[in-house]
Amino acid sequence: MSPEEKREKEEEEQEERRLYHQQIGFTACKEGLPFDVTGEALMYHLREKRAKAQNLPKESSWYWIFCAEFKAGIQPILPEIDTSRWTFGGEWEYDPEEALSVAKKAASIFTKTA
């Protein structure tokens, strides 16, 4: 890789990181949090808020939140955070996209058998 290509790649990565942090900041401000909050702290805040709205314990996973929302007749919406690079410690219940996918399957099973 030439020095020019390396520099361009670094600039692209830097711009990608800037946009990610800007997205986190804007979402945090909508939630009444400081602009410089971390993505993890914002995600915890959003999860805690949604759990409270469904009368669940504040440490509930996204899976249980989405299941409760389906049960209440609410169509769950994913948080406005790009989590494509997050690992969630291997716990799918805390990955919003994975949890929503599994919760949809569970909801379809329960509505068919009910």
Q: What is the pLDDT of residues 48-94, one digit of tens each?
A: 999 999 999 999 999 999 999 999 999 999 988 888 778 887 888 99
Is the pTM above the cut of 0.95? Answer: no
What ranges do the domains of the chain cover? 3-113
In 3D space, the residue among 37, 2, 5 whose CA is nearest the CA of residue 23 turns out to be 37
What is the mean pLDDT of the segment spanning 12-33?
Answer: 90
Distance CA 89, CA 111 (A): 31
What is the mean pLDDT of the segment spanning 4-15?
Answer: 90
Q: Which amino acid is at 80?
A: E
114 pLDDT higher than 50: no
